[in-house]
Structure 1
Amino acid sequence: MITVPQLDQYKDLIGEDQLSQIYDKVRALSGLHVMHFNTTERGGGVAEILQSLLPLLEDLGIKHTWKVVPLDDTSNHFTAHLVDMLQGNIPGQLEAEDQQAFLDTLAQTPILSRPQDSQADLYFVHDFQLAPLTTLFPWLRPAIWFCHIDTANPNQYAKEYILRFLNNYNVCAFNSQASVFKELPREHVQVITLGIDPFKNKNKYITREQGMQAIARCGVDPTRPLITQVSRFGRWKNPWQVVDIYRLVKQHIPNVQVALVGAMEAADDIEANDVLADLRKYAKGDPDIHLLHDPTMIRDQEVNAFQRYSSVILQRSSREGFGLTATEAMWKEQPVIGTSSTGLRSQIIHEQTGYIVDDTQTSADYTLKLLQDRDLWRKLGQQAHEHVRKNFLFPMIVLGYLDALTKAMAFAHAQPNLSGGQKR
């Protein structure tokens, strides 16, 4: 049996059973060529997952190619509105001319203009932006579509817009059962539980001294109480509530400070600048509110330091497909004060590994509680670490991914797409 060191290093963390399952599943897929498509090579959870997943699967004998389909500003605005509708159940419709303009642009994707340059055994398309690809380019079959956002409560019109393209996929994958579109045939759905790579630089252990130095390099005083949220600057990450929580806590602990940490490097994140500008106004010049966004400053070690050595970690997302930054913090023995959003609710066990709470005052109360009772903070943090070890390390995503590949290839031979129609 072929084994790879990158996977075997998990043996002490998860035991041999899960690793054996991976090796068993991968044997039947050896030699397969999978081609992935997403919209950005850096920034955001999808790119980070692919950066870890694809080299590992290559070592296991499954060839992978990754192609980025960049979107122009008009397309990014259209898809930003679409995700607002899918995640937030915002009322309204998508204008027909906007839909057509987006599809026309996508149909002219240069990297897909020559089918002979994009040959693979299986195509893997990420997120709602690129769902139309298999309709526009029928030769991209068999195919899997993976939805990474929180679609537990979508706008019906936006959901129907996406559903019209999903008939051309053999498998539709989601990172939470709650986000699955109920209209899809159950046998063509795969839930892929996400997980973190604890051996990446961002998640490796660093000493307190190293962490304090990294925090100080960002202009934050590491000797004072620090509340932190790590996430991109987006409206669904709800950074304004983080500031509100900090202000309530500051009434009781005057020297507390807050850091909002999110390197702005995702090419498809068009709203980050607007959110950051609004936050600057919202901060009203308070020197204890730190908005850290420079990707040349906020690198893996800095993110590691803030997650590991902040006094309290918040994740206030009003919508969250999964929330890898919460997983990372819990791995670093931090209880997380999260919300009832789909992804956070699936990870955080209330009063055991953190807290699930939506309103600002109660969130501030829990923050104050963890700042004042460090024995409780340590206890919940240790339980959070153990919860991630058992449920949310990288082999979990590998298992779900291999199941999706196996299912897609089986359906490709029997029923090439969700309708059972013939491959065009």
Structure 2
Amino acid sequence: MHTAHPRGLSPTEVGDFLALIGKEREQRLREAARRIRKQVGAGTLWHVNSTAAGGGVAEMLHILVPLYRQLGIPVRWAVIDGDDRFFDVTKRLGNLAYGSVDPADRLDPADVDHYLTRSAMEAKELLALVGTRDLVLLHDHQTAALVPDLAGAVRGVFWRCHVGVDAPTAGSRAAWDVLAPLLERADAAIFSIARHIPERLPDHQVAVIPPVIWPYSPKNEPVPRRMRGPYLERAGLGRERPPGYVVSEGAWDPAQPLVVQVSRWDRLKDMHAVLAGFVEGVPDARLALVGPDPTAIADDVEQRRWFEVCRAAWSELPDRDRTRVRLTCLPMANGDDNARLVNVVQRTADVVVQKSLAEGFGLTVTEAMWKGRAVVGSAVGGIAAQIEHGRTGLLLADPGDLKQFAELVTLVTEGQVDGPGLGARARRHVRDTYLPDADLLAVDELLSTHTTGQESPR
């Protein structure tokens, strides 16, 4: 267990944000912050997750922790330190929670025992950091087994689930067989969308809080066109010879529309099928599959495998198609630099796609919508919650339908639908719904509903 240290927010950023949301929303934000401060009292609000870099949860905490501090709320962030087997087990547990029925994701009793044993070690270290007046908000399946040790030792413990499945499967039921008993003493379990709440949890124990983005983070801040060139070159999407971490062959035509998917190299993100569907059905366009360095994220041990699946599929393409498809593994050594690369890649795209097989929420979609991009996404999880088909983006009803996927992308690349119009409406929707003041209002309601205000004896 170790503490994470997010970057601070400058007064200019906070001022710009308050101007963006307007006086009425600012007033509601400040009132919510005041009530949260009262709820926290002499304690601290803790966030606990499994990584300080990489993935939507870490990115969101790098926003929310400093913003809460700016508003006078005492908050800290801790990260669990699992071993390789722990992260392998929790990766499979997450896949199951997403509905996987792949035998490779199955957990045996020894796997669950290792998960619980390692979690008990982490809980002991966390209990040395927190106090009896503190409130603890745990994130995702990696932290669920901390609940039994924390319950009764702190004033409130909440567990937030960022994964889920639209329709239960044998895999998701197996995941909840593990998770549900661990959450019995949680003050509440929080989900990104209502339809991901499993039947195993009682109604009084659940809440719905969508994730949010920060408009001025390196991943979302405005980048003038004149400043994008060096980033595009480093992402392998410019005119020069791409760097070594980009899989490419020959020059491509910058006049052709650019289609981009930015996500982890992950089975559920379905990058290899994006490649297949694009090559088969999207003519006269370029595709960039952009993900992190597959060796750089400690809590996701499958990234290298799925990147190699994509690279193998690319290597088997005809010459012309290899020229118009590139795979980029963005460096992860500097988080802000990585985020700016993603920012420029998305802003340069004519179409941003997210053809996930399952999705907890899909902040990559939120980010692309904020940038005013035309988005084509699978109608799963939070993607379907964010996009109104034909108004703020295009939804693929069946993520496995590669023909329909290609047809939707082609509608934009060939100008048969108004891509800029989709993007403009998408940006307004994100401004109205998925900015951080929404999180504070939701957390205010959560604490008011589920916290007794009593210090826990220990």
- Please give the TM-score of this superposition, normalised by the length of structure 2: 0.83
Distance in 2 (CA, whole Å) between partners of 1:65 and 1:221 is 40
Shift in Å at residue 309 of structure 1? Answer: 1.1
Query: Is 2:52 the counterpart of 1:41?
Result: yes
Amino acid paired to 2:34: R
Instruction: State the SS of the aligned residue for 1:10.
Output: helix
Q: 1:176–1:193: 8 Å Cα contact kept in structure 2?
A: yes
Distance in 2 (CA, whole Å) between partners of 1:379 and 1:195 is 23
Deviations 1:177-228 (A, max 9, x none): 1111233332332211222111112211112232244212322246242210
Query: Is 2:379 the counterpart of 1:340?
Result: yes
Deviations 1:312-349 (A, max 9, x none): 11101111111111111111111210001111000011
Deviations 1:10-61 (A, max 9, x none): 3443333332222212223324411221111100011111110011111212
Q: 1:227–1:311: 8 Å Cα contact kept in structure 2?
A: yes
Distance in 1 (CA, whole Å) between partners of 2:36 and 2:231 is 43
1:170 alignment counterpart: 187
Query: Is 2:185 the counterpart of 1:143?
Result: no
Shift in Å at residue 287 of structure 1? Answer: 3.8
Q: 1:352–1:380: 8 Å Cα contact kept in structure 2?
A: yes
Shift in Å at residue 405 of structure 1? Answer: 2.9
Amino acid paired to 1:23: R
Q: 2:355–2:378: 8 Å Cα contact kept in structure 1?
A: yes
2:146 alignment counterpart: 133
Aligned identity (percent) is 29
Shift in Å at residue 374 of structure 1? Answer: 7.5
Amino acid paired to 1:29: I
Moved more, 32-41 or 89-98: 89-98
Instruction: State the SS of the aligned residue for 2:345.
Output: helix
Distance in 1 (CA, whole Å) between partners of 2:194 and 2:299 is 26
- Please give the TM-score of this superposition, normalised by the length of structure 1: 0.89
Q: 1:6–1:56: 8 Å Cα contact kept in structure 2?
A: no
Task: Give the direction of change, closer, same or farther, for the CA distance of 1:169–1:101 in structure 2 (3 Å limit).
Answer: same
Shift in Å at residue 413 of structure 1? Answer: 4.4
Q: 1:197–1:394: 8 Å Cα contact kept in structure 2?
A: yes
Distance in 1 (CA, whole Å) between partners of 2:451 and 2:292 is 38
Which residue of the other structure, out of 282, 289, 292, is the alignment partner of 1:260? 289
Amino acid paired to 2:434: F
Moved more, 184-193 or 385-394: 184-193
Amino acid paired to 2:144: A
Instruction: State the SS of the aligned residue for 2:201.
Output: coil
Distance in 2 (CA, whole Å) between partners of 1:8 and 1:178 is 36
Amino acid paired to 2:129: D
- Where do 1:199-218 residues align within 5 Å? 199-218=216-235
Q: 2:266–2:302: 8 Å Cα contact kept in structure 1?
A: yes
Query: Is 2:267 the counterpart of 1:235?
Result: yes
1:293 alignment counterpart: 329
Q: 1:226–1:257: 8 Å Cα contact kept in structure 2?
A: yes
Instruction: State the SS of the aligned residue for 1:292.
Output: strand
Distance in 1 (CA, whole Å) between partners of 2:308 and 2:236 is 19
- Where do 1:88-99 residues align within 5 Å? 88-90=99-101, 94-99=107-112
Distance in 2 (CA, whole Å) between partners of 1:311 and 1:374 is 13
Q: 1:333–1:382: 8 Å Cα contact kept in structure 2?
A: yes
Which residue of the other structure, out of 259, 262, 281, is the alignment partner of 2:312? 281
Moved more, 148-157 or 336-345: 148-157
Instruction: State the SS of the aligned residue for 1:293.
Output: strand
Instruction: State the SS of the aligned residue for 1:41.
Output: coil
Q: 2:140–2:162: 8 Å Cα contact kept in structure 1?
A: yes
2:27 alignment counterpart: 20
Which residue of the other structure, out of 355, 364, 373, is the alignment partner of 1:325? 364
Q: 1:134–1:141: 8 Å Cα contact kept in structure 2?
A: no
Query: Is 2:240 the counterpart of 1:226?
Result: no
Distance in 2 (CA, whole Å) between partners of 1:202 and 1:333 is 14
Distance in 1 (CA, whole Å) between partners of 2:127 and 2:367 is 39
1:407 alignment counterpart: 449
Moved more, 81-90 or 310-319: 81-90
Instruction: State the SS of the aligned residue for 1:200.
Output: coil
Which residue of the other structure, out of 372, 378, 390, is the alignment partner of 2:432? 390
Q: 2:17–2:215: 8 Å Cα contact kept in structure 1?
A: no
Shift in Å at residue 308 of structure 1? Answer: 0.8
Distance in 1 (CA, whole Å) between partners of 2:306 and 2:156 is 39
Deviations 1:218-266 (A, max 9, x none): 222462422100111111111012102220245x31xx22111122343
Query: Is 2:176 the counterpart of 1:159?
Result: yes
Amino acid paired to 2:303: A
2:76 alignment counterpart: 65
Distance in 2 (CA, whole Å) between partners of 1:116 and 1:284 is 51
Shift in Å at residue 288 of structure 1? Answer: 2.9
Distance in 2 (CA, whole Å) between partners of 1:296 and 1:197 is 20
Instruction: State the SS of the aligned residue for 1:187.
Output: helix
Amino acid paired to 1:309: T
Structure 1: gaps of 5 or more residues: 417-422
- How many residue pairs get aligned? The number is 409
Which residue of the other structure, out of 338, 342, 361, is the alignment partner of 1:303? 342
Instruction: State the SS of the aligned residue for 1:167.
Output: coil
Shift in Å at residue 157 of structure 1? Answer: 2.4
Deviations 1:128-186 (A, max 9, x none): 11101022455255201000112433422221221101111111111111111233332
Moved more, 124-133 or 256-265: 256-265
Which residue of the other structure, out of 115, 124, 130, is the alignment partner of 1:118? 130
1:360 alignment counterpart: 402
Query: Is 2:272 the counterpart of 1:272?
Result: no
